[in-house]
Amino acid sequence: MSDRPEGTTLQVNIKTPAGTLINAYARDGAHLSELLGELEGVAAQVAALEGVYQAAKLTAAPARAEEPWEKTTRERAISQAVDQSGSAAPQCAHGARVPKDGFSQKSGKPWSGWFCPQPRGQAQCEPVWNK
């Protein structure tokens, strides 16, 4: 049994930088163009939701005691996924930026910022670092 709708002649699978898989099923090229246009229209919301999901994963019960600066990074990630006005993620030339954070391998200090959605190895915009 196939998961694709009846009449599908084209299928496109898109994996976002955060790992979300989006499947588009189209009857023909014109229908596919229409679907991709609709996906482009909701890209900012998808990126914002991915940011909230990533932040929620970070706030899960830790396996070890947390340092005070770790909580700050997690709380910041949640609040920055969607700002107070309800706006979605910041944009770059390639679409909605993707929130990422982590810890420096050298210093152990936390970092966070918004990154270009282009896949690694392709021309990417400079990240926007959170302060």
pLDDT on residue 89: 76
Kindly tell me the burial class for residue 39, based on how many C-beta atoms sit within 10 Å of its own C-beta (0-12, 13-18, 19 or more).
middle
Low-confidence residues in the chain, pLDDT < 70: 1-2, 54-88
Q: Decide if 4 is inside a domain.
A: no
The answer to whether 105 touches 112, Cβ cutoff 8 Å, is no
At 17, which amino acid appears? P
Q: Decide if 3 is inside a domain.
A: no
pLDDT on residue 46: 80
Number of folded domains that form the chain: 1
Q: Decide if 88 is inside a domain.
A: yes
pLDDT on residue 98: 86
Q: Decide if 1 is inside a domain.
A: no
Q: Decide if 5 is inside a domain.
A: no
**Segments forming the whole domain that contains residue 15:** 10-129
pLDDT on residue 1: 47
3-class secondary-structure state, position 25 = strand
> What is the value of pTM for the model shown?
0.39
Q: Decide if 122 is inside a domain.
A: yes
